[in-house]
Chain A
Amino acid sequence: MKTDIILAGVGGQGILSIAAVIGEAALEGELYMKQSEVHGMSQRGGDVQSHLRISDKPVASDLIPLGNADVIVSLEPMEALRYLPYLKKDGWIVTNSKPFDNIPNYPEMEQLMNEYEHLPHKVILNVEQLAKDLGAPRSGNVVLLGAASPYIGVDFSMLENGIRRIFSRKGEEIVEMNLKALRAGKDQA
């Protein structure tokens, strides 16, 4: 068993919080893991990515080789497409549909959706809206993780435990809200 995941987004959106939950789940599953992150200059509103590799055997490279990613999980629809060279031919894209438009030349939504037309496996959802509807407006990231959960190679129950551990110090209410967000995301996948 080996899953290579690219997490994508814009600096400040919080892709690392998704990585943290998956990491906790992988640890619980006694799996090997490597996860490379972007810190520093790019965090200031630039494009950011994280390579997350989970396996039942030792992981060698901290970076995913081209054409190897099983899934791209993105908080932003254009950013997901930036990493297509990493995606396996039969890989999945799970992305937020709402653009983060902080540049003057952001493409038209229609152009982006045309690109998605050509890809065989995708889940496109408005995570902010779904989170808002749940009454958990700050749990968009967790909704996205839920939607990606069938493709990331860790048991759903372990993801739930990961949420419990990471949010426990913020109180039971926050934990429950995020568990709800995770399940709602899963229902969209």
Chain B
Amino acid sequence: MSKKIPYLCLPLNKNNLYTYMKKQLFLGDEAIAQAAIDAGLSGVYSYPGTPSTEITEYIQNSKAAKEKGIFSQWCANEKTAVETALGMSYAGKRTLSCMKHVGLNVAADAFMNVAMSGINGGMIIVTADDPSMHSSQNEQDNRVYGNFAMLPVFEPSNQQEAYDMIYEGYEWSEKWGYPVLFRITTRMAHSRSGVRTRETRPQNPVSVEKDAQQKYILLPVNARKRFKVLLDKQKDFLDASETSRYNQYLPIDKNSSHLKKPLQGLGNGQLGIIACGIAFNYLQENYPDGFEHPVLKICQYPLPKKQLRQMVEACDEILVLEEGYPVVEEQLKGYLGIGLKIHGRLDGTLPREGELTPDKVRKALGMEVISGYPVPEVIAQRPPALCAGCGHRDVYEALNEVVKEYKNTKIFSDIGCYTLGALPPFRAIDTCIDMGASITMARGASEAGIFPAVAVIGDSTFTHSGMTGLLDCVNAKANVLIIISDNETTGMTGGQDSAATGRIHAICKGIGVEPEHLHGIVPLKKNFEEMKQLIRNEIEYRGVSVIVPCRECIQTYARKAKKIKN
């Protein structure tokens, strides 16, 4: 078979020719990580969260990153991560911060204000969104945050673009003096493909800008100036979008046998199709021999006005294919929805929720979807479950037995493996909202009259966002029992180091939990009765009690044992 050139969905512009290195199989996440290393990264600051975790893990495991001295230790949460990254950028170096979509909510304070200050060394913030909620509690689309902060958003359509756009993103970030929000979704994060890498670039030296204080001290007097600078910068961002090789208007070739034509069911006008990020792949999948409509591929925001105008001049109606919320569709449609006909997730051409698939796009294009065989009725659901031998199991077994003795127990839980306590056989928890909400909701419910009000939170989630809530409880002398189920790792995302390991008792004491109501226990069968008695006693104590059942995650334990054996 002949040697293949690397697949890029669009030809390289003559000005953009560069040296490609060898081709490797990379997850989207890994392509991002490798690109950052190659672009001269000095530090990555992140908190684990599916589907973003593998970016930082890749850098942690990379020999090249180690040799280059790239910092890559996990942070306590996404906010500390973005702020630490900003500190490194302030000092002139290139930096990366990665999180899942809901993580950017935690980091939002830092994110919105770094848009005011701007940056020095190149800074990219990766948000890995999870439409269809494979491993998340919502499917928010963080392109909205990009608009909100008025920052450029990059959204690659394939793994090679993910690599290239990170590599080039650092140059853009430094040229503009602003961070780039880099948006991927689950499919891009966790899909593997061949990627060619580029030559490595040295790290930046330490350097602080001359006017740094006017940029980074956001007192109103400076902030007002900085906001004007940000507003002025918008035309540069737009110009970059309009000239980006990742945004392309593909008119119909006049000589082509395909004529632009309306789609079934979408009226009679000439139809143009906008495809954002990974949606472009699904569109291509359905036109293997070439598009039959003018297509605008968008991978960089703000929206490229010039190309949009070209499309509007050539078409009467537009179909918008985008992964996540109808962000582009809403912008084009306007509030009243008068003017140009726009089809997409809002008018039911595509489902309003859930990730796109080639089949959903196919249906929207008016083509027939031919399914294989039906799923037999005997197929049973197989939900995820706590591992056999997991310490959280022992905790829930004991807790369930004790709370049976009370009529109105409510168990406020949190984000992590122990959320699986919601499913049979435990059905042990009543809530799971956001990182840290177990402790604070328990207090609120207790003050409303719920008894017993119990919080169940993991160790990593506790140091991510539970400590401040515990301080509230202590200050309010709330009548709550807080169980910090400590497995000495961040389990659900695959066993990353937990910032809490070895520190929980000291933290609780320091926050002011009374030592006689702060207990540790090993959640094992042999301690079952003792654990029950402890829970019972502390439910009966009218104040803040903390029990810390601690036993290492059996997955990380097995991995370590295997390593030692080898």
Contacts and interface: CB of A to CB of B under 8 A. Distances in A.
B4 A44 contact: no
B257 to A, nearest CB: 20
A184 B383 CA distance: 33
Contacts of B373: 84-85, 87, 89, 118-119
Contacts of B285: 60-61, 65
Contacts of A119: 373
A103 B23 contact: no
Contacts of A64: 358
B17 interface: no
B433 interface: no
Interface in B185-237: 187-188, 190-194
Contact of B192 (A29, A31, A37, A87): A37
Contact of B187 (A36, A79, A104): A36
Contacts of B191: 34-37, 62
B4 A32 contact: yes
Residue in B378, B387, B424, B494 whose Cβ sees the most chain A Cβ within 10 Å? B378
B357 interface: yes
A33 B194 contact: yes
A37 B387 contact: no
Interface stretch (B264-272, B364-372, B396-404, B482-490): B364-372
A111 B379 CA distance: 10
A66 B369 contact: yes
A85 B190 contact: no
B12 to A, nearest CB: 15
A56 interface: yes
Contacts of B188: 62
Interface in A36-92: 36-47, 56, 58-67, 69, 78-79, 81-82, 84-89, 91
Contacts of B9: 58
A187 interface: no
A66 B371 CA distance: 5
B387 A45 contact: yes
Contact of B370 (A29, A31, A67, A118): A67
A188 to B, nearest CB: 23
B492 interface: yes
A23 interface: yes
B358 A58 contact: no
A44 B417 contact: yes
Interface string B88-115: 0000000000000000000000000000
A91 B372 CA distance: 9
Contacts of B187: 36, 62-63
Contacts of B357: 63, 65
B325 interface: no
A81 B369 CA distance: 20
B192 A105 contact: no
Interface residues of A, number: 59
B27 to A, nearest CB: 7
B414 to A, nearest CB: 14
A33 B193 contact: yes
Interface in A138-161: none
B385 A46 contact: yes
A59 B193 CA distance: 9
A30 B376 CA distance: 38
A46 B387 CA distance: 11
A128 to B, nearest CB: 18
Contact of A30 (B3, B358, B383, B424): B3
A25 B424 CA distance: 42
A45 B385 contact: yes
Nearest to B376: A115
A124 B23 CA distance: 36
Interface of A: 10-11, 19, 23-24, 27, 29-47, 56, 58-67, 69, 78-79, 81-82, 84-89, 91, 102-107, 111-112, 115, 118-119
Interface of B: 1-4, 7, 9, 23, 25, 27, 50-51, 53-54, 134-135, 187-188, 190-194, 278, 281-282, 284-285, 288, 357-359, 362, 369-376, 378-387, 417, 420, 424, 492-494
- What 6 A-B pairs come out closest when comparing CB atoms? A40-B50, A40-B135, A46-B384, A60-B284, A61-B285, A84-B373
12 contacts: A11-B384, A30-B2, A30-B3, A35-B193, A39-B50, A44-B386, A44-B420, A47-B382, A56-B1, A61-B358, A84-B376, A103-B383
Given A65-B362, A67-B371, A118-B373, 20 more contacts: A23-B25, A27-B194, A30-B1, A33-B193, A35-B191, A35-B193, A36-B191, A36-B192, A37-B27, A37-B191, A60-B285, A65-B358, A66-B369, A78-B378, A78-B380, A78-B382, A81-B375, A81-B379, A103-B383, A107-B378
